[in-house]
Amino acid sequence: MRTDSSPGNLPAREHLPAGSAGTPVLDVVIPVYNEEKDLQPCVVRLHEHLKRTFPYAFRITVADNASTDTTPQVAARLESEIPEVRSFRLEQKGRGRALRTVWSASDAPILAYMDVDLSTDLNALLPLVAPLISGHSDLAIGSRLARSSRVVRGAKREFISRTYNLILRGSLQARFSDAQCGFKAIRRDVAQVLLPLIEDTGWFFDTEMLVLAERAGLRIHEVPVDWVDDPNSTVHIVKTATDDLKGVWRVGRALATGSLPLDRLARPFGDDPRDRDLTDVPKGLARQLVGFCVVGVLSTLFYLLLYSGFRSFSGSQIANALALLVSAVANTAANRRLTFGVRGRGSAVRHQAQGLVVFGIGLALTSGSLAALNAATSSPAHSTELAVLIAANLAATVLRFLLFRAWVFPDRRDETEASTVVASHNPSSPTYGTTTAAHQQHPQQLPHTPLPQRPNATAPQAPYTNYDHNQTNEFRAGEAADRTRGDATMQLQAVRPHDHDPRDTRDAR
């Protein structure tokens, strides 16, 4: 039962702290390769949409993937004409390489990217990044496969997309719905730890990032989107699909062999209630249930075999009692060692005696069931007897587990700790610790053990605007976990109600 000193609610994840003057909150990256025709309309439309609807400072970064046409000149002209636009050129192709490079150098706390064709309706951009700004989620993706999404595309692309996501679910146990939608966002503190673990530099970059994040327990937010296929897309479907399947095989093999250091990502970005020690939540219950079920299935099969053997030369009641007695001794011994982890011979006799008491209760249930069956019909079939005994044993099994856990094999250590440990909560600080009864009398001597906090998204960084592809920024995995979060929070600004882009013809449909 919860005590008065225990926290009544989980501590809220903190809102993204306000950055220094001039630092954008959102950095939207547009990776491009030979997009001299579409680049300017895309950037202008995105810029006007963000100016109208986004309540924070933002930046648009054009990441040129070694284009051979006039794309670099178009990007440079946009940078000179629009203050919020930056351009960056890589001499090597690869969407994943461009995103990794720009995201690693950016000083914005929220990093996003979208395709240059703007197939995704821009009205989904604010819902995409809002959970990251609030601290609720670590990554966010647009989903074309959500039920409320509205998608216009050909049957070929629809089939390929759904097949690919089914492959991810079947091979990598992915739970996100759409891996390849070009509309994603991530917190910078998460990206600094996650990006060094991603090997792919092409189109599989998205999928690898999401799989690693999901396996590490990070929270992925999905946003249903309105999406219209670009008929002039230059993506080579066959080559992209082949590279993606190779990536699935590589990541699946790495996960199976344990070569990925996912422990670096295990819950470094926020308070997790699973890390707490609460006195009224039993420990090891899931493992004990699994072990008890396995032992129970084997014991039931053993019991049925014994009953069938004893039944060949005795009555049903005698056969049931003998089969229960033998299987009960074996069941108690197996649960003692395998389910509850009791080692050695100490208290073995007492445990068996208590197990026989539990056996007596099971015998009463099963014998009563047989007596009721015999009262209902004078000569029941053997299969009917077995069915009745199985049902009675299921009821006896539930009761047996409860008695084993609470009476036969109680966790004495947990009981001792529960009598002395009380959760402590300081309303003025998001720090939780444990106190003993002695410490409650001397609160000034109380040591606090803070839980991990989300890192400071506005820690000092190298200037973002001076890009140089010959320079590299190195980030240590786990480095972000060592930072602390400030108390400052952002203040939302008023958004003009007319958030419809008059030049967006798809908005009117």
Mean pLDDT split into 10-residue runs, the chain, 509 residues: 36 51 86 92 94 93 92 94 93 90 93 91 93 91 89 81 82 82 92 89 88 88 88 65 82 78 57 56 70 84 88 85 84 85 80 84 81 83 84 80 83 48 38 38 39 39 42 38 38 41 44
Q: Tens digits of per-residue pLDDT, 228-245?
A: 887 666 566 667 777 778
Torsion 85-91-94-98 (CA) sign: negative
Long-range contacts of 240-247 (CB under 8 A, 24+ apart): 240/202, 240/203, 241/160, 241/164, 243/202, 243/203, 243/204, 244/164, 244/180, 244/203, 244/204, 244/207, 245/167, 246/204, 247/200, 247/204, 247/207, 247/208
- Which secondary structure element, helix H or strand E, spans residue 502, and what is its range? none
pLDDT digits (tens, 9 = 90+) for 213-231: 888 888 999 999 998 887 6
CB-CB contact of 178 with 225 (8 Å)? no
pLDDT at 236: 62
pLDDT of 266 reads 56
For residue 456, what are the contacts with CB-CB under 8 A and spacing of at least 6? Answer: 17, 189, 483, 484, 485, 486
pLDDT for res 104:
93
Angle (CA) 348 353 357, round 5°: 140
The confidence score (pLDDT) of residue 127 equals 94
pLDDT, position 394: 81
